[in-house]
């Protein structure tokens, strides 16, 4: 997983932060509360995932909008990829 590189005036070296350590730093948690912070973020993520899943399962309209949005993202990514490939390589055949 990538991290966030940050340079503070009071620190001599560059410190690599993960999203968890960045949020812990923002909330002022020290090493004593790392497990509590990890558990809290884990439960929040699980709860949010379950709420989204329940909405998609129970409501056909929400499910349909989600499928359309995912399909649009897939088509957009494929179109950008092919435009980039053909802009560099063109339409010549590889031999």
Higher-confidence position of 57 and 85:
57
Number of domains in the chain: 2
pLDDT digits 0-9 by tens, 7-21: 555 454 456 777 777
For residue 4, what pLDDT band results from cuts at 50, 70 and 90?
low
Let me know how long the chain is.
95
Q: What is the pLDDT of residues 21-56, one digit of tens each?
A: 777 778 776 777 778 878 888 999 999 999 999 999
The encoded tokens of residue 29 equal: 């948690």
pLDDT reported for residue 3 = 52
Do 73 and 85 fall within a single domain? yes
What span, in angstroms and rounded, lies between the C-alpha atoms of 20 and 40?
Answer: 11
* pLDDT value for 12: 43
| Run of H or E including 77 | helix 60-89
Tokens (6 digits) for 58: 């129970």
Same domain, 50 and 63: no
Tokens 């435009």 belong to residue: 83
68 and 44 part of one domain? no
**In terms of domains, do 47 and 83 share one?**
no
Domain that holds residue 12: 1-57
Tell whether the model's pLDDT for residue 76 goes beyond 80: yes
Confidence at residue 13, expressed as pLDDT on a 0 to 100 scale: 47
Residues 7 and 51 in one domain: yes
Q: What is the reported pLDDT for 35?
A: 81
């Amino acid at each position: 997983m990538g991290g966030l590189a940050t340079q503070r005036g009071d620190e001599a070296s560059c410190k690599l932060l993960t999203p968890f350590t960045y949020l812990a730093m923002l909330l002022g948690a020290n090493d004593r509360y790392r497990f509590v912070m990890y558990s809290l973020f884990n439960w929040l993520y699980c709860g949010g995932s379950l709420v989204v899943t329940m909405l998609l399962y129970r409501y056909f309209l929400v499910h349909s909008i989600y499928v359309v949005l995912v399909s649009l993202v897939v088509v957009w990514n494929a179109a950008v990829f092919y435009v980039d490939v053909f802009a560099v390589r063109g339409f010549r055949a590889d031999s």
